[in-house]
Each structure stands twice: as structure tokens, then as C-alpha cells.
């Protein structure tokens, strides 16, 4: 499973890039607003920092304007994936842009039926929001399982499942277990994945024993 970072903060991204764990980046209007930067400028900078896909989201809701915004965002760099909402006009936009060879990430997916529509519209990625389903008392990961079953039943559908609204490491583990293609993770969740109390304790024990030997490898 590939890891995308869900951020528009280039300083956070820079810290993660050195780990070798970053396969792409996703942004959205809320993250752009949080960054305090111009969307075109920060998206261009992020796209220059990573080789993988960088999702940049349109803010229009009608087809004609989404097409204009999508083309402008796609022109920023070759690795831009234009993000569109899962609406009638959003999927029309997806079909037009994908037919022109532009990567498209369809966002705000909450059902397997929606995911099927996005795949038929030629989406490169589909972004189901598992955390928001959890907030409603549902099990968001059941949606990922259902989407995986649907896509696997039709090998001609090439859309990749990009799990979004990930809140914790267990979300990542379950997404991997059911075969999600990508997870887009807040930086905090990626750092949390490194942590386990037994890892820390084991390292402390080894170092304590090593110190008793009085040796040095260097």
C-alpha cells in the first residue's frame, strides 16, 4: 500500500520525505487555508518536492468552472491529480479530464455505489472518507471492504482506492488488510506508526546490556 501525506505544510512534508515513506501528497481547500498560502504557489512547491501524485482540489461546483479550474491546476506540474467532488458535475468533470489524460482524484465518497460511478467516469483515485463514517457511528472500513469487492469483480476498472480521513494507525492497518491501494495519512499518523512501547523497551534493554560490555563498534 502506498502512503500519501495529507498536508499543505511544506515543512511537515520535508521532514517526512527523508524517511522514504512518502509516495504522494493530497491537499484540500481546508489544508490550503490552514497553510495560509496561495493555492497555486504551494501546490507548485509541493509538486516539485515529490515524484508521485499531488492532489489539488477544485473549489467550483458547476461543470464549466470545474473544467477551467481543473485545467489550470493540472498545468502546474505533470504529477498533479485534479481532485473533484463526487457529484453529477464532478463526475462529468472527471470524465472529461481523464479522457484528456489528466489524473483525477474523486473525493467525498461514502458508498460503494458512488465508487462504482467514479470508476466508470475514469477516476484515477477514489477517496472514501472512513473517519467521517466512524463519526456517524458506522464502521468506515466496511466501506473499503465493499469497494474492494466491487472493483475486484470487474478487472477492467482501474481506479485505485485511496483511503482518506484516516484518524489512527488502526485505520492504516485495516486498510492494508483489505487491500486498499493507497492511504492518505496526516503526518501525525505516519509518525505514530513508528511507535510501540515494546520497541522502545526492547531498545532500552539492548542498549543497557551493551553499555555493560564497555565496547564501541566505531
* Predicted pLDDT at 102: 98
Average pLDDT over residues 177-191: 98
Indicate left, alpha or beta for 137 from its phi (over 0: left) and psi (-120 to 50: alpha): left
Q: How far is CA 182 from CA 3, 49, 150, 160, in A?
A: 6, 19, 17, 7
The mean pLDDT of 138-167, rounded to a whole number, is 97
Cell of 88: 453529477
Over residues 13-37, mean pLDDT: 97
For residue range 87-117, what is the model confidence (pLDDT) as tens digits?
999 999 999 999 999 999 999 999 999 999 9
Give the mean model confidence (pLDDT) for residues 192-209: 97
Prediction pTM value: 0.95
If pLDDT is split at 50, 70 and 90, which confidence band does 77 have? very high
pLDDT-based confidence at 80, cuts 50/70/90? very high
Q: What are phi and psi of 129, to 5 degrees?
A: -100, 90
pLDDT in tens, 32-75: 999 999 999 999 999 999 999 999 999 999 999 999 999 999 99
34 noted as active-site residue: no
Percent of the chain with pLDDT over 70: 100
Q: Which of 161, 52, 153, 154 is nearest to 106 (CA)?
A: 161
pLDDT at 119: 98
Task: Say how far residue 187 (Cα) sits from the centre of its chain.
Answer: 11
Domains and CATH numbers, the chain: 2-212 (3.20.20.70)
What the block records as the C-alpha cell of 160 is 485505485
Catalytic option among 44, 83, 201, 212 = 83
Backbone angles phi, psi at 76, to 5 degrees: -65, -45
pLDDT at 158: 96
Q: Give dist(CA 13, CA 49) in Å, integer.
A: 9
Amino acid at each position: 500500500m502506498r502512503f500519501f501525506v495529507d498536508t499543505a505544510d511544506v515543512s511537515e512534508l520535508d521532514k517526512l520525505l527523508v524517511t522514504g515513506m512518502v509516495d504522494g501528497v493530497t491537499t484540500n481547500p481546508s489544508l490550503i487555508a490552514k497553510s495560509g498560502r496561495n493555492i497555486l504557489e504551494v501546490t507548485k512547491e509541493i509538486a516539485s518536492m515529490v515524484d508521485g501524485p499531488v492532489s489539488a482540489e477544485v473549489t467550483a461546483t458547476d461543470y464549466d468552472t470545474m473544467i477551467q479550474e481543473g485545467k489550470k491546476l493540472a498545468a502546474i506540474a505533470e504529477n498533479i491529480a485534479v481532485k473533484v467532488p463526487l457529484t453529477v458535475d464532478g463526475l462529468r468533470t472527471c470524465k472529461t479530464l481523464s479522457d484528456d489524460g489528466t489524473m483525477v482524484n474523486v473525493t467525498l465518497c461514502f458508498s460503494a455505489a458512488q465508487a462504482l460511478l467514479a470508476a466508470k467516469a475514469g477516476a484515477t483515485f477514489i477517496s472514501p472518507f472512513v473517519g467521517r463514517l466512524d463519526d456517524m457511528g458506522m464502521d468506515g472500513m466496511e466501506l473499503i471492504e465493499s469497494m474492494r469487492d466491487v472493483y475486484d469483480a470487474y478487472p477492467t476498472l482501474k481506479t485505485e482506492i485511496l483511503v482518506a480521513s484516516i484518524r489512527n494507525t488502526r485505520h492504516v492497518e485495516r486498510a492494508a488488510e483489505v487491500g486498499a491501494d493507497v492511504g492518505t495519512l496526516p503526518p501525525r499518523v505516519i509518525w505514530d506508526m513508528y511507535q510501540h512501547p515494546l520497541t522502545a523497551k526492547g531498545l532500552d534493554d539492548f542498549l543497557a546490556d551493551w553499555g555493560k560490555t564497555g565496547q564501541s563498534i566505531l
